[in-house]
Chains A and B, each alone.
Chain A
Amino acid sequence: MSTEELMQATVGALFGIFGAPDDPAVAEAADDTLAALHDSLAAAAGN
Chain B
Amino acid sequence: MMAAEYINVQIHDLVRWGLGSMIASTLVIVVGLLVFLLGRAVDIGRLFGTSR
Are A and B bound to each other?
no
Q: Which residues of B contact A (CB under 8 A)?
A: none
